[in-house]
Structure 1
Amino acid sequence: MNEPLAVEMRLDHMERMTDSTGMIQHAVGPVPDFATGYTSDDNARALIAALGLQSLPECRPWSGRLARLADRYLAFLVYAQRPDGRFRNFVGYDRRFLEELGSEDSFGRALWALGETMRTQPNSYYGRVAAAAFERAVPHATGLSFVRAQAFALLGLCAAWEREERRVALEPLIGELVEGLVAAYHRHSGPGWPWFDEALTYSNGVLPAALLRGAVVTGSKEARRIAEEAMDFLTESLIIDGVLQIVGNHGWFPKGGRPALYDQQPVDAGAMVLAYATFWSVLGRPADREGARISFSWFTGRNVEGISLYDPDTGGCKDGLLAGGVNLNQGAESVVAYLLSAYALVKTGLALPSLPEEEVRAVG
């Protein structure tokens, strides 16, 4: 099965969840829940999705809509950035910050989004604004303590590194983050547990994906080997009889224990799609091509409950797979996870986007 998949995409729900400030965090069903406000996490991911989709020729009918969305998300990140270059995360519906400093993960995701903006929009005002925010943030990248935050930041640095004029300045920082992930792997891995931590928790696929990207930049054979070992471990642990079984957030998967089956989150399926697409694009391993297809199909019903989380009527994605059903709410994190997954597949040639016919006809 080497033919590209057809992945259905709509922008309706992404637009529904976005107002003049940015992307609303949660929803009640498909209706935005204004009381939950906004996060830098969601707006960073949404910025990557909007600009990524805008870069695809197949998504030309959406150019104007995606540009308007990207404006909001980039403006939100600039608003959330502190004078010292770090980021606040939670913002109330009244646009007031709810904390003085966001989590390390939110910092890493913001840096990732800025780096991707610099990569996809090098000659536009998006790229210039992102580069200024990136310069203020990047000194904090090597001071991160948590491995997933390090991985998010590494993805951002590697994206910005693709601009040739940035390479000399960024290569030492990328090397430090690669060394940090390699060191974490050596601290925690053991027989039957080739991993960076004492448990598989959330966004697991981001770790080997980021390390492989870092290995490409640094040329580290050790980092590449570890990235492959960790990715193969995820495949063995999470794809059972051709079905992705994400680690549930009710107990996770501790070293020496058993994985929790529920609740499974769309953001974690999205991380697996990203990882497999990254490995396929760098290494061309057939198993990764198949892993990407299997992981994406989790959204559309190839999961342990046989229920589609993607909602073709709204263009949204339900918030979680539960025992015997789904969480019917369609929040920001979930719809962006779906669209980022679709983008990753299309970008690597593993899928073709299927847009609503009326939108394609309108462009003609």
Structure 2
Amino acid sequence: MKSFGSLPLEHLDRMTDSTGLIQHGIYSLPRRESGYTTDDNARALRLCARLWNTQPNDRILSRVACYLSFIEHARCPVRGFHNFLSYQRDWLDATGTGDCQGQAVLALAEVVGSNLPEGFRALASELLENALPTLESLRSLRAQAYVIQAWAHLRRSDVPGIEPLEGIAKLAAERLVECFHRSQRPGWPWFESRMTYANAVLPHALFDAAQRWPEEEYLSVAETSFSFLDFATTSNLVFHPIGNRDWYSHGEEKSLYDQQPVEASTMASAALAAMTVLEDERYQAVFHRARDWFHGQNSLKTPLADIHSGGCFDGLHPTGPNRNQGAESTLAFLWTELHVDGVASINHTREVSNSTNR
């Protein structure tokens, strides 16, 4: 499994202006009328903050500044962060969605846990602290999963003073387990009565929580639910995500299309989280399948990613790809590629450990 020497960010830059990252694309160009979202700018911030740790240069820092400035501007006087900003720079929502709060906090945690300049980290820390009351009242399961992932990243980065966020993360993990038991049915070990979008973030969060609280049942629920998701999204050893046309409800047939890049990206991320907790080659195989989906190992045998520009088609329809290259899709591809070195690092560490123990 090879990674790029450096991630191709040409399309990301093309989709970004002085305000931030534009939400949708029209083919390989930005669709300005779609405006901006905090969701997408948070994803871009997270990616570039992570890249800064290995590629600290002025261009990366400029990208981080743009996306972090957008998040700061998205601060909502009522609660949390706004999400939808028009191209004319008017906020279109009174308060942001739950998932938007989770994505923003996940990106801010990435900045706080990085070695970016002190001013960048100070702003991110302030924004994160101000968001805590909003995080306590989140009801979206995925938003709560993002909060757990954010706290786990800060913990792995040895950031001090994260106890308030840890308390919120612990409650969120308990809610995920509670929802799992409440929704579980014979042949349906899942958190909800149907699978929808970004499904893998739910077991991913519990893999993270299990590292801190091994005495709880987080690991058991994470393994069980992730195995079920893997079974539901694998066909002939090819990743086949739940389509967003009708999703996948308990007792019904799963929707085969339209397949979204975010499903492959979150699946790859969850597999990597599982690999950090458990030595099981199954998770590496899941990672490969999810990543290969972008490169043509999918139900239509069609590559979705442009490995030269870094752009990514918006999904798979029954008749072929959606050839628009939007922000979410592009970042899903880039974030997945960023994980390739992480998988290699885990493998190397385990090889060294096994060699030492012989």
Query: Structure 2 length as normaliser, TM-score?
Result: 0.92
The structure with higher relative contact order (CA 8 Å, sep 6+) is 1
Q: Which residue of 2 aligns with 1:74?
A: 68
Matching of residue 222 in structure 1 with residue 217 in structure 2: yes
Q: Which residue of 1 aligns with 2:340?
A: 345
CA deviation map 1:76-110 (0-9, x unaligned): 01100113551100001111101111111111111
Matched residue of 2:23: which SS?
Answer: strand
Q: Is the 8 A contact 1:87 1:101 kept in 2?
A: yes
Output the CA distance in 1 between the equivalents of 2:61 and 2:160: 26
Query: Could you say if the C-alpha distance between residues 101 and 220 of structure 1 is closer, same or farther in structure 2, counting changes exceeding 3 Å?
Result: farther
Equivalences for 1:288-303 in 2 at 5 Å? 288-303=283-298
Quick one: which of 115, 131, 138 aligns to 1:137? Answer: 131
Q: Is the 8 A contact 1:178 1:215 kept in 2?
A: no
Matched residue of 1:326: which SS?
Answer: strand
Q: Is the 8 A contact 1:277 1:345 kept in 2?
A: no
CA deviation map 1:190-225 (0-9, x unaligned): 211111001111001111001111221233430111
Output the CA distance in 1 between the equivalents of 2:117 and 2:4: 30
Q: Which residue of 2 aligns with 1:204?
A: 199
Output the CA distance in 2 between the equivalents of 1:27 and 1:328: 9
Q: Which residue of 2 aligns with 1:191?
A: 186
Cα deviation, residue 251, structure 1: 0.7
CA deviation map 1:312-356 (0-9, x unaligned): 3432000111112100100100110001111122233279xxxxx
Q: Is the 8 A contact 1:263 1:320 kept in 2?
A: yes
Matched residue of 2:160: which SS?
Answer: helix
Q: Which residue of 2 aligns with 1:157?
A: 151
Cα deviation, residue 55, structure 1: 2.0
Q: Is the 8 A contact 1:117 1:126 kept in 2?
A: yes
Amino acid of the residue matched to residue 124 of structure 2?
Answer: A
Output the CA distance in 2 between the equivalents of 1:86 and 1:347: 32
Bigger mean CA deviation after superposition, 139-148 or 117-126: 117-126
Q: Is the 8 A contact 1:45 1:109 kept in 2?
A: yes
Q: Is the 8 A contact 1:118 1:159 kept in 2?
A: no
Quick one: which of 273, 281, 296 aligns to 1:278? Answer: 273
Output the CA distance in 2 between the equivalents of 1:166 and 1:84: 25
Q: Which residue of 2 aligns with 1:362?
A: none
Equivalences for 1:93-112 in 2 at 5 Å? 93-112=87-106
Matched residue of 1:166: which SS?
Answer: coil
Output the CA distance in 2 between the equivalents of 1:217 and 1:142: 20
Q: Which residue of 1 aligns with 2:3?
A: 6
Amino acid of the residue matched to residue 27 of structure 1?
Answer: G
Amino acid of the residue matched to residue 114 of structure 1?
Answer: L
Quick one: which of 5, 14, 17 aligns to 1:16? Answer: 14
Q: Is the 8 A contact 1:111 1:138 kept in 2?
A: no
Give aligned-pair identity as a percent.
34
Q: Is the 8 A contact 1:160 1:166 kept in 2?
A: no
Quick one: which of 328, 334, 352 aligns to 2:329? Answer: 334
CA deviation map 1:289-329 (0-9, x unaligned): 11101100000100000000001343200011111210010
Quick one: which of 235, 241, 253 aligns to 1:246? Answer: 241
Q: Which residue of 2 aligns with 1:176?
A: 171
Matched residue of 1:321: which SS?
Answer: strand
Q: Is the 8 A contact 2:312 2:329 kept in 1?
A: yes
Bigger mean CA deviation after superposition, 106-115 or 159-168: 159-168
Q: Is the 8 A contact 2:193 2:249 kept in 1?
A: yes
Output the CA distance in 1 between the equivalents of 2:309 and 2:333: 13
Cα deviation, residue 5, structure 1: 2.8
Matched residue of 1:192: which SS?
Answer: coil
How many residues matched?
Answer: 344
Query: Could you say if the C-alpha distance between residues 287 and 157 of structure 1 is closer, same or farther in structure 2, counting changes exceeding 3 Å?
Result: same
Query: Could you say if the C-alpha distance between residues 198 and 158 of structure 1 is closer, same or farther in structure 2, counting changes exceeding 3 Å?
Result: same
